[in-house]
Amino acid sequence: MSDSPDERRYHVDGELVPAEEATVNVRDRGFMYGDGAFETLRAYGGEVLAWDAHADRLERTCERLGFARAIPPRDDLRDRIAETLAANDLADAYVKLSISRGVQAGKLTPDPAVDPTIVVMVDSLPRGGIDGDPVWDSPATVRTAETRKIPDDALPAAVKTHNYLNGILARLELQQGIDGDPADEALLFDTDEYLAEGATSNVFFVAGGVLYTPTADQSILPGVTRSMVLDLAREEGLPVETGRYEREELLGADEAFLTNTTWELRPIEAVDGESIGAGPVTRLLARLYDRRVERSCYE
């Protein structure tokens, strides 16, 4: 199978179709209103990492959107992912599973009857980890965004919907760059000026041997990788604290890193031009994460 996206086959509403035929109706509510849920997943050796955690969050999102009863069982969804990976001869891959409310009349109020649109897309993503190089090109340069995280009481932060405008606006700020040097990730703060998350990542920092990350009580999306890293740290006996932190606390950290499904753990080289970098805790957690992948997907 070619690595060209144009030669991929995607799963659309129960059928594997060539990429150029993988389309959705213009009246689909995911397209019209962002009325849908999605999960970004990683496959290692043909196995999806942390599938149950992703499926749990997907179901919570669909429940919050009011159409959870219309989506197929998680085993059915997992089979669609496996079929898509096999059709593209991929073992180590990026996977995106999207479920929208489907095609309905063009009005804002949803109809009670739901026929969801379900799409699985995949692309090659080499493992990195124990036997390879990291999937990211270099440690991340980060810039704080003027865009603020939408409060949870305005748009539920813990659900992963098609509406990613908040993160898009923050990422657009990066294109302006600083002295012509754009950053890799935008860092958002909440409306109370506390550190929240990256546009597509969660943030951790280490100070005095303690691992810190913003609390899930804030307006953040608690990432699956974030949860795995917290579990690994606690299992290792590392001191962990979640709370509300100001920018200066991050800038004064000994080390810092970002997490998401694609990057796994990516060290932060600098924030707003001020160096931070990796360190022994970041490297330890990265090794523990690699071992978790090994146990979960290869044994």
Cα atoms in the 13 Å half-sphere on the side-chain side of 46: 9
- For the stretch 104-161, pLDDT in tens is 988 999 999 999 999 999 999 988 655 566 777 799 999 999 999 999 999 999 999 9
Q: Are residues 275 and 213 in the same domain?
A: yes
What integer pLDDT is reported at residue 175 of this predicted model? 85
Q: Are residues 61 and 187 in the same domain?
A: no
Total domains, the chain: 2
Q: What CATH number did the domain enclosing 144 receive?
A: 3.20.10.10
* Contact in structure between 41 and 261 (CB atoms under 8 Å): yes
Q: What CATH number did the domain enclosing 31 receive?
A: 3.30.470.10
The residue from 125, 152, 177 where one domain ends is 125
Query: What pTM did the predictor assign?
Result: 0.94
Across the range 220-235, mean pLDDT stands at 98
Spatial separation of the C-alpha atoms in residues 218 and 183, rounded to whole Å:
25
Segments forming the whole domain that contains residue 35: 5-125
Q: Are residues 188 and 219 in the same domain?
A: yes
The residue from 125, 152, 170 where one domain ends is 125
Q: Are residues 205 and 109 in the same domain?
A: no
- For the stretch 25-54, pLDDT in tens is 999 999 999 999 999 999 999 999 999 999
What integer pLDDT is reported at residue 179 of this predicted model? 57
pLDDT at 1 over 60: no
* Structural domain includes residue 148: yes
* Structural domain includes residue 134: no
State the pLDDT confidence band at 6, using cuts at 50, 70 and 90: confident
Query: Where is 31: in which H helix or E strand?
Result: helix 29-33
Q: Are residues 178 and 87 in the same domain?
A: no
* Contact in structure between 181 and 204 (CB atoms under 8 Å): no
Q: Are residues 68 and 106 in the same domain?
A: yes
* Structural domain includes residue 103: yes
How does DSSP classify residue 102?
B
- For the stretch 237-250, pLDDT in tens is 999 999 999 999 99
